[in-house]
Structure 1
Amino acid sequence: MPDFLVLIRDTLRRGIRLPPAGWVLAAILAFYVLAGLFGRDPWKGEDAIHIGAAWHMLNFGDWLSPDLAGRPFHEPPLYYWSAALTGMLFGSWLPLHEAMRLASGIWVALALMGLYYAGRELYGEDHAAASPLLLAGSAGLLFHAHDAQPMLIALAAYSGALGGLAAIGRKPRLTGIFYGLAIAACLLGTGIAPTLPLLAIAPIAWWLSPDRPKALHTLLIGFAIAAVLTLPWPLLLLNLEPARFHGWLATELAPLNTPFSVVGGGRFIAMLPWFAFPAFPLAIWTLRLRRREIKAPAQLLPLVFLVLTLLLLAWAFRPRQIPALLLLPPLALLATPGALALRRGAANAFDWFAMSTFSLCIGIVWLGWSAMVLGWPEQMAKRALVLRPSFVGHFDLLALIIGLAATAWWVWLIITAPRSHYRSLTHWTLGCTTLWLLATTLILPWFDFNKSYRPVAQAIAQALPPDHGCLAERALNDTQLASLSYFVGIEPVAEESKAGQACNWLLVVGDTRRELAAPNSKWTKVWEGNRPGDRKETFRLYRH
């Protein structure tokens, strides 16, 4: 028997080695990063908005500043640069929106790598794999890691900065480079407010360093690198397009002019038990377990960074899931010692909970697929139609093969995983990933049916004549504008603008007669429709 077949046979019998390291850990994290990036349209919300802005940058070649459906989009450019670049590189092999969404996978991969090095520096080689597994296993990240989302750049910057600052006493030169790159990426990717904790942690890192003069020199190098990489873009924007620069600056400063909200901070904390599970309870366990070592760098660095981030969120952000992503890197790092120091009973209970929960959920996904494609169970099939009226399921052989392979992988993992303090954490993270892969493969058409504006955009384009000229819009949000621009190349102007007043076509959206009414009796309704299954959002197209 050839050697590689022997290796495969032995691996199938033995299972993956724990703790995962090297190519095994890389494969696990790559599986997490890639699951859910493909096979779907831009979904309503953030995904469609940011894909639309990246598409406009790529399609029209305006790389200086992002636009959304032909209008200035006052956001930092780094995510759109990266998404446009991945679209350019992989757009010939993939649908363009999937190629651009690969940028999110790259930023998530960088976040996992940064946290791996942070865990290795603070807690040692045996603990290193736990930090990225905890980040990947956080329930909140799973819902956003596979969308087009600029906040993923801040996630990577926070993880990279923690990885660099954790090594400030051992590798000061590398720390300066990592820290500078993290600040620059955060500023160019997500703006001023999310960058503030990265700046505020510098005095703490200096104070915790065993060689403070060298640490000061290291941090100054980091600031210099950040300045060199960051300043050219706003200076160029100010010089070439001053109106856009001032619009961007006003947008950046607006959150910092809001009052500090204790209630908002409390809501972010209240979100953590589910959003950051299992990192949140394990971080509390770590603090209790190591309460006598709380001043040691391994505990104090992530703890202070977590507090600084929470203070920023209470000051500059409304309690939402997307800014809460910033809490995950320090929480995952803080939870690392506790995750591997659970008592046997707690570790077994966590392992049993992970295996049973995800096995049950995987079974439910298969039932959903059966209801969608085969019409059984009948009650579930009827319920699916209630939630998505007029949806019709279709058999997809590739989706079935991927689903069977993922399910077999999960069963093999449960059967073969050896006893280890990593076992429960590995089961949790891979269970999350397997479930997400199955959901975005087997029942993806059901989700896509209600989350994509493609059918509406195509219907509007068909209702308009080829030479329709100017089209005005009333009350369309950023998602709808981005979808019209991306799917059919239509970029309407605002009704109240000077250009909009001269248009002979008007597109409105709403859910009441008043919102959907024509401006006056001279307008004639040409078309009316909505997204499949959406009864609260109606589009009407009028002609003057």
Structure 2
Amino acid sequence: MNGLPRSLNLPPSGWTLAGLLAFYVLAGLFGHDPWKSEDVIHLAVARDFLDPGHGLGLSLAGQPFLAAPLFYWSAALTGRLFDWLLPLHDALRLASGLWTALSLAALYYAGRELYGQHSAAATPLLLAGSFGLLVHAHEAQPMLVLLTATSLTLLAYSLLPRKPLMTTLLLTPALVLAGLGQGMGGLLLLLCSLLIPLAIYPDKRQVVLALGASLVSAGVLLTGIWLLLASAAPLWLSIWLQQEWRQLSQAADYWRDLKTFLDMLCWFSWPLLPLAGWSLWQKRRSWRAPELLLPLISFGLWLFSLPALMAAKETTAILLLPALALLATPGALSLRRGAANAFDWFSGMAFSVFALLLWIGWCAMVFGWPERLAKRAVILEPGFVGHFDLSYFSLALLASLWWIWLLLTLPRSPYRCLTRWSAGLATIWLLTVSLWLPWIDYGKSYRQLAADLAWQLPQQQGCIAAQNLGDAQRASFAYFERLRFTPLPRSGQTHCRWLLVQGSSRQELAPTGTGWQRVWEGSRPGDRKERFRLYRRSN
């Protein structure tokens, strides 16, 4: 009878590597409500596609939503395919897992091409181990489509000297994904990268032929898809393209945004940045080698292009991580023994301590011990009552036992600290969203608030005007209760019988215009800044 293997084989390969990366992709992707963030907005937009008669254009709670459509199409597809197996929001969010998995797979093959089979597993493990990707890889996030496009681009360029035809076959879908995944900004980002192979490979004719074929084929595909959109959703496409052009032409504070990206990288890319620096130091005498220049120039070019093309925020910064993971690969596997042991010790100790704290916090919420910590949890989320959930407890226990097994059995190897870091980060995330999920959902979910609001409305309520209602709140009410809102004109004159107002003060919660009677007021538990009032026309 075969039992558990005594340890993982390092470097991880085959099903072992696939299992490690699948654990990362799936950990925390399911099982929680849409949260007040971009998550609920993108889920609500994707859900609208499942309504009968919905076209190819995007909408949010009945109003046009101007964004690149590919992620929402893919989320609607996974929602349609798996809603019989999973709650709808989990089935929609599965699209994020698929795009993340494609990015990790592309980086695995890019690492193998640049650094050899022994080093191939390090690149996706490094990407999975970065702080910045962890949350966004497990929420509904359209930027993951462009992350996949940048990863495919790096793979295409790494194959160019040996397999130029494969470069064309990979770069073509990458360009299409960029255009349909993030619009003009994403497409321009990848078009800028066409300079990279011209700078690092000596056979210019081969490079030009491969890039030219990719541009022509991607242009044909994008034109065909845009013509389809022009036929199926002409008004939406026209407004979206106008907004894209307006955003690109607006004067942005380039140096401020660049500084924002640099500040974020200090923690966002950990531990990639110091490992990439070590790679550069180790390879300083052969810095002109393509395996070093490709990720280095890609990272630098995208870092200095992003402030001009996209908003400086965390979701945009994840686009810098694939090139940085490739650049960090040689450094991660060539750490000196003392540094590798220190990194390994820190990974084991830090994640073990975090896991212990998460279990103690869970005991406080469910069993009331430690008492002081239990009181603190209630203060942060007033009204919360913890309960024991066998399924989530079992999942967290299995993850903890698996982490202990990794601590005790991983053999000595240059891969040990890297494997332990990536697995530990995924374990902590899984423990957080399993043990602490009821507490997190209690504070972040709009499910109960949406139900309370819907209870106040008659079954045939007609239109509901909205005043100061944010996108996340509008998306939440639309997702949970299928409520639709009409924007309130500046004049305050509307034919709607109902009015929903969002605000934090008495002045902000007052309705615009006269003739309104307040019928309900509510907020999420513990949220003192965000309140809602429902008014009904009194005449």
Q: Which TM class, normalised by the smaller chain length?
A: over 0.9
Q: TM-score, normalised by structure 2?
A: 0.97
**Does residue 1:296 correspond to 2:296, yes or no?**
no
The separation in 2 between residues aligned to 1:29 and 1:415, in whole angstroms, is 20
Contact 1:493-1:499 at 8 Å conserved across structures: no
- What are the equivalent positions in structure 2 for 1:158-173 lying under 5 Å apart? 158-173=150-165
Counterpart amino acid of residue 428 in structure 1: W
Counterpart amino acid of residue 369 in structure 1: W
- What are the equivalent positions in structure 2 for 1:99-498 lying under 5 Å apart? 99-257=91-249, 258-259=251-252, 261-496=254-489
Equivalent residue number for residue 62 of structure 2: 70
Contact 2:502-2:533 at 8 Å conserved across structures: yes
Equivalent residue number for residue 15 of structure 2: 23
- What are the equivalent positions in structure 2 for 1:509-524 lying under 5 Å apart? 509-524=502-517
- Count of paired positions: 536
The separation in 2 between residues aligned to 1:227 and 1:170, in whole angstroms, is 25
- What secondary structure does 2:520 align onto? strand
The separation in 1 between residues aligned to 2:129 and 2:456, in whole angstroms, is 46
The separation in 1 between residues aligned to 2:239 and 2:513, in whole angstroms, is 34
The separation in 2 between residues aligned to 1:70 and 1:206, in whole angstroms, is 47
- Deviations along 1:29-55, whole A, 9 cap, x unmatched? 000000011111111111000000000
The separation in 2 between residues aligned to 1:504 and 1:86, in whole angstroms, is 37
The separation in 1 between residues aligned to 2:444 and 2:312, in whole angstroms, is 23
Q: TM-score, normalised by structure 1?
A: 0.96
The separation in 1 between residues aligned to 2:161 and 2:256, in whole angstroms, is 38
Mark the runs of 5 or more structure 1 residues left unpaired by the alignment: none
Contact 1:42-1:48 at 8 Å conserved across structures: yes
Contact 1:351-1:427 at 8 Å conserved across structures: yes
Distance 1:181 1:523, change over 3 A: same
Counterpart amino acid of residue 175 in structure 1: T
The separation in 1 between residues aligned to 2:492 and 2:482, in whole angstroms, is 18
Distance 1:485 1:504, change over 3 A: same
The separation in 2 between residues aligned to 1:49 and 1:85, in whole angstroms, is 17
The more displaced of 91-100 and 518-527 is 518-527
- What secondary structure does 2:511 align onto? coil
The separation in 2 between residues aligned to 1:203 and 1:500, in whole angstroms, is 54
Contact 1:177-1:221 at 8 Å conserved across structures: no
Counterpart amino acid of residue 263 in structure 2: A
Contact 1:130-1:422 at 8 Å conserved across structures: yes
Distance 1:353 1:254, change over 3 A: farther
The more displaced of 128-137 and 187-196 is 187-196
The separation in 2 between residues aligned to 1:459 and 1:482, in whole angstroms, is 16
C-alpha deviation, 1:290, in angstroms: 1.1
C-alpha deviation, 1:452, in angstroms: 1.1
The separation in 1 between residues aligned to 2:379 and 2:457, in whole angstroms, is 31
Contact 2:57-2:233 at 8 Å conserved across structures: no
- What secondary structure does 1:501 align onto? coil
- What secondary structure does 2:146 align onto? helix
The separation in 2 between residues aligned to 1:48 and 1:368, in whole angstroms, is 27
- What secondary structure does 1:178 align onto? helix
Counterpart amino acid of residue 243 in structure 2: T
Equivalent residue number for residue 51 of structure 1: 43
C-alpha deviation, 1:497, in angstroms: 7.8
Equivalent residue number for residue 39 of structure 1: 31
- What secondary structure does 1:231 align onto? helix
Distance 1:500 1:110, change over 3 A: farther
Distance 1:415 1:61, change over 3 A: farther
Q: How large is the Cα RMSD of the aligned pairs?
A: 1.5
Contact 1:64-1:237 at 8 Å conserved across structures: yes
Distance 1:152 1:519, change over 3 A: same
Counterpart amino acid of residue 16 in structure 2: V
Counterpart amino acid of residue 248 in structure 2: L
The separation in 1 between residues aligned to 2:196 and 2:181, in whole angstroms, is 24
C-alpha deviation, 1:155, in angstroms: 0.7
The separation in 1 between residues aligned to 2:473 and 2:389, in whole angstroms, is 29
The more displaced of 495-504 and 204-213 is 495-504
- Deviations along 1:404-433, whole A, 9 cap, x unmatched? 110000000010000000000000000000
Counterpart amino acid of residue 517 in structure 1: A
Q: Which runs of 4+ in 1 moved over 6 A?
A: 497-500
- Deviations along 1:207-243, whole A, 9 cap, x unmatched? 4335332222211221123123222232233345443
Mark the runs of 5 or more structure 2 residues left unpaired by the alignment: none
C-alpha deviation, 1:450, in angstroms: 1.1
The separation in 1 between residues aligned to 2:207 and 2:402, in whole angstroms, is 46
Distance 1:498 1:82, change over 3 A: farther
Distance 1:53 1:291, change over 3 A: same
The more displaced of 413-422 and 194-203 is 194-203
- What secondary structure does 2:49 align onto? helix
